Structure 1
Amino acid sequence: MSENASTVAELLQSSFDNLTRAERQLSHSLMENYPVSGLGSITAVAQNAGVSTPTVARMVQKIGFKGFPEFQAALRKEVEATISDPIAKHDTWADQAPNEHIVNKFTEAVIDNIRHSLGQLDIETFESSCELMADTDRSLFVVGGRITRALADYFFLHMQVLRKDVTHIQSISNAWPHYLLDIKKDDVIVIFDVRRYENSTLKLAEMAAEAGAKIILFTDQWLSPIAKLADHTFSLKIVVPSAWDSSVTTMLLVETIIADVQQRTWPETRERMEELEVMFDRTRFFRKFT
């Protein structure tokens, strides 16, 4: 399976409605510790899910594989992709790169990422997530990792204007435990976590879940381990012809969510924005041209 193809997780999600009860049970089992849960023998996979071996064989064919060996080969490629470092990713791309200009090639990849991700977007998940983030009776926490903290910071800055009681959890592992003191049951924590998933972020998610917080996850097509703890997950395609993954699709969704939350909270948001503008004028924070 190439990086442009659907992941096994995406195939399971898109085929879920067409699966039998036993196959759905198997699908849930595979997603609990994805993708490692599918790398054992077919007998072990069946036993872990509490289904028969023929059920495993039928389901992998139903989601598009010729058989169990091809299914496992796809999972192994995903494991390799999630742990590959920037140099390895660039070398893989460079060997296969055609002669088109990078501007066109990169743009086409980003557009494909957007088209694929929006095609897989669950509107109910989107609506429910925005409703949670707009609920000012809940505290809202935002956290990112080494790379995704830039997305988290951007999201936090806008949410801080839109509504009250928003906290940006610093991703430094020796600092975030302090924030857990303030997380209450039914509060909302938005987490950004993409491949080369960070252990400290997973631990934070585990402890937040134990506190009863609602977790909204922005991740990639391979799914962060946090997905098994999240109430709502946005799985977005991030592959581009570069040593780095792309944040464009994630940013598009983030900005769309900001716009939706703004509509939901507009009376309060308008007052906050007007008050903020008065502060900017008093401090002369921005230049004004008259």
Structure 2
Amino acid sequence: MNKNNRITDANSALKEISAQYPQLTPQLKKAADYVLEQPVNVALLSIRKSAEAAGVTPSTLTRLAKSVGFDRYDSFRQLFQKAVNTRQPASYFSDRAQYLQDMASNNPENKVFFQFADSAFSNLEQLFQEDTRNKLQQAAPLVINARKVFALGFRDTFTCAYHFTYVGSIAFPHIQLIRGYQGTLLSELGEIRQDDVVVAFCFEPYTTETVQAINIARNAGAKIIAITDSLRSPIASGAEITFTLNNDTPHFFPTLTSSIALMEALLAECVSIGSKEMVSNINRFEENIRHLGGYHET
């Protein structure tokens, strides 16, 4: 039985374990490391086998379950059994590229396209759930009411941060992009204050610059909206709101499909509860672009 009404799914359980982690005993930390790093095994293995894999006793796993509000380990484990998803077959870029080639050579019909479609639909289905909607409703007021909103992402996720800033700043001019060009990163991060919000995108393999930037933002007291792939992600710790997205794909590089969809959904939620001034901002932007000839007229 779950005595903690907040813990209703595997993600909530992992987040609670992450929050309690610094106060756990060394043995409970070993158990927590196992659960945070191997949630699928928690679902699939018996308590005895999970304990062996974690290097702890079964009673330690039971104590960990109780520490987050469960009477029995079985009740705790059931959350993970419900959340089991098939993981992608490769972990590194070159492995993924090799997987694509192997799949094509072993299958005369070359079903790469259809596997792309299946993974994209699966990722989006995981995104558009009640939990995501609830988090969007919490995140939108943070974005609207912040002194400034800083969008942050490096390498591939710079695309997400840039798009969020470009679209969002049309309606909300206080949204700005952390670029980090030509040695300006620390200067830009130095502008972050306690009443600001940082929207950060980061997926495994986690970018060092992003992790360091988030540490600076945390120390400044800013609220973090983390868009990542796991509650084990280094940007999830201490975040005000964490969105964990599936980015499974047969491609050699992680897909950004769910990230872009989530970012657009967040901005739509912000606009839906925004002020009339926000509508005026959008209208002013559009009129200015038209006046400058920014839209091709046929």
User: 1:106: how far off?
Assistant: 0.8
1:16-27 aligned at under 5 Å gives the runs: none
TM-score (structure 2 length as normaliser): 0.71
Residue 124 (structure 2) pairs with residue 114 (structure 1): yes
1:265-276 aligned at under 5 Å gives the runs: 265-276=274-285
User: 1:241: how far off?
Assistant: 1.2
1:208 to 198, 212, 217: 217
2:205 to 193, 196, 206: 196
1:151 to 153, 160, 176: 160
Q: Could you tell me whether the CA contact under 8 Å between 1:32 and 1:228 is conserved in 2? A: no
Structure 2 match to 1:63: 77
User: 1:168: how far off?
Assistant: 0.4
**Percent of pairs identical after alignment?**
20
Q: Secondary structure at the match of 2:160?
A: helix
Q: Structure 2: how far apart are the matches of 1:222 and 1:201?
A: 16
Q: Secondary structure at the match of 1:124?
A: helix
Q: Secondary structure at the match of 1:233?
A: strand
Q: Could you tell me whether the CA contact under 8 Å between 1:130 and 1:261 is conserved in 2? A: yes
1:239-278 aligned at under 5 Å gives the runs: 239-278=248-287
Q: Deviations over 1:159-178 (max 9, x none)?
A: 11111222200145932211
- Give the paired residue count: 255
Amino acid paired to 2:116:
F
User: 1:259: how far off?
Assistant: 1.1
Q: Could you tell me whether the CA contact under 8 Å between 1:163 and 1:265 is conserved in 2? A: no
The 3 A distance-change label for structure 1 pair 86 and 282 is same
Residue 226 (structure 2) pairs with residue 217 (structure 1): yes
Q: Could you tell me whether the CA contact under 8 Å between 1:139 and 1:188 is conserved in 2? A: yes
User: 1:32: how far off?
Assistant: 12
Q: Could you tell me whether the CA contact under 8 Å between 1:206 and 1:229 is conserved in 2? A: no
**Structure 2: gaps spanning 5 or more residues:** 1-7, 39-50, 66-71
Residue 113 (structure 2) pairs with residue 103 (structure 1): yes
Amino acid paired to 1:55:
R
Q: Structure 1: how far apart are the matches of 2:35 and 2:171?
A: 36
User: 1:102: how far off?
Assistant: 2.5
Give me the CA root mean square deviation.
3.9
| Shift >6 Å, 4+ stretches | none
Amino acid paired to 2:37:
P
The 3 A distance-change label for structure 1 pair 130 and 60 is same
Q: Structure 2: how far apart are the matches of 1:16 and 1:224?
A: 11
The 3 A distance-change label for structure 1 pair 220 and 162 is same
Q: Secondary structure at the match of 1:109?
A: helix
Q: Structure 1: how far apart are the matches of 2:272 and 2:204?
A: 32
1:132 to 138, 142, 160: 142
Q: Could you tell me whether the CA contact under 8 Å between 1:191 and 1:215 is conserved in 2? A: yes
User: 1:15: how far off?
Assistant: 5.7
Residue 133 (structure 2) pairs with residue 123 (structure 1): yes
The 3 A distance-change label for structure 1 pair 130 and 186 is same
Residue 177 (structure 2) pairs with residue 162 (structure 1): no
The 3 A distance-change label for structure 1 pair 248 and 191 is same
Q: Secondary structure at the match of 2:147?
A: coil
The 3 A distance-change label for structure 1 pair 164 and 154 is same
